[in-house]
Structure 1
């Protein structure tokens, strides 16, 4: 029996089985191949779409993590700044007390300093001034250096110009009011007079 004869009864058997199946449900093999290709294409497109969605989701998660980290860092910095500079308002107010205390010490004449009756009083005021400076230092409040230095607009405020040949123009020749820093921030600028060339 040849191969053609072998396949004919098989085809006939298939035809016999398919005879009772309605036309729309018959699988003729040709259409099925096209459907398989279409389903493979649509499956590939779906996979590609899922990959794109996954990549976008990964990016969103990374951005969300970065935002959360930035918010945390900002919050930590705000807390640190609040600790470091919480006393700024109070320190600015107490500077006038330090100014008046310094003026009181500076205004005492030499003869009164030598008077035995007043010596204890003067020593007490000077000790109070030293204690105040020590407390300032403990809280990061430092006096700004001024006299003899070039004018720094970030720390000094020029109130007047003094014509002189003895200093370079722009050099501070007099400090009218002391300036202070609190840690790395300006608490109050030093009010100064600066040298200028004589007319």
Structure 2
């Protein structure tokens, strides 16, 4: 019994400093319920904030990946405009070589000029290769609208219809993208 009295006295001593309005059980219960509601609301806000942080991190990572891809593409394809312009120089060089008659190629005065033009053509092809610029195969291939541009249809008994039998202008790719389509003549039934 002395234990119970000691406990009761301890509770009474603690309650002596507590204002009387706080001793009312209904008010205390209401305040406790209000505190629990505030805690629940704060926990909900915290969960929502955590979710928003996760979404923001994911979005940031996606933006970073897109930027890395854009930078890689810019590096890989930066020379596209310049390469298109240089292709006409390469075409003119090839036309110049084709225009030289065989007898002039053997002429001692012209051998140096021909050798210089041929060396320049090889150098252009080497530079193209270093920058991922490759010539599109056309002759004897089936027409591929992704790489070839059909300019004329030519009646032919020797080739299957739709096969490239004439190349008017070489086509080129830069890495995996089309730089310029090959302009071709395509076989058709006579």
TM, length-normalised to structure 1: 0.79
2:126 aligns with 134
Find 2:145's aligned residue among 129, 153, 160: 153
1:157-168 counterparts in 2 under 5 A?
157-168=149-160
d(CA) in 1 for partners of 2:99 and 2:160? 30
d(CA) in 1 for partners of 2:182 and 2:43? 64
* Structure-2 change in CA distance of 1:81 and 1:27 (3 Å): closer
* Structure-2 change in CA distance of 1:67 and 1:26 (3 Å): closer
2:39 aligns with 47
TM, length-normalised to structure 2: 0.82
**1:57-111 deviation digits (Å, cap 9, x = unpaired):** 0111111112212222222222222222222111111111100000111122222
1:106 aligns with 98
d(CA) in 2 for partners of 1:156 and 1:38? 81
2:8 aligns with none
Using the TM superposition, give the Cα deviation of residue 131 of structure 1 relative to its aligned residue in structure 2, in angstroms: 0.7
Whether 2:70 is the aligned partner of 1:84: answer no
d(CA) in 2 for partners of 1:89 and 1:28? 82
Matched residue SS, 1:166:
coil
Using the TM superposition, give the Cα deviation of residue 36 of structure 1 relative to its aligned residue in structure 2, in angstroms: 3.1
**1:133-168 deviation digits (Å, cap 9, x = unpaired):** 101111111111111111111111111111223222
d(CA) in 1 for partners of 2:90 and 2:161? 31
Task: Show structure 1 runs of 4+ deviating over 3 A.
Answer: 25-29
d(CA) in 1 for partners of 2:137 and 2:54? 48
CA RMSD of aligned residues (A): 2.0
d(CA) in 2 for partners of 1:189 and 1:128? 23
2:173 aligns with 181
d(CA) in 1 for partners of 2:112 and 2:158? 40
Matched residue SS, 1:46:
helix
d(CA) in 2 for partners of 1:77 and 1:99? 33
Using the TM superposition, give the Cα deviation of residue 27 of structure 1 relative to its aligned residue in structure 2, in angstroms: 5.8
Matched residue SS, 2:88:
helix
2:86 aligns with 94
1:28-47 counterparts in 2 under 5 A?
32-47=24-39
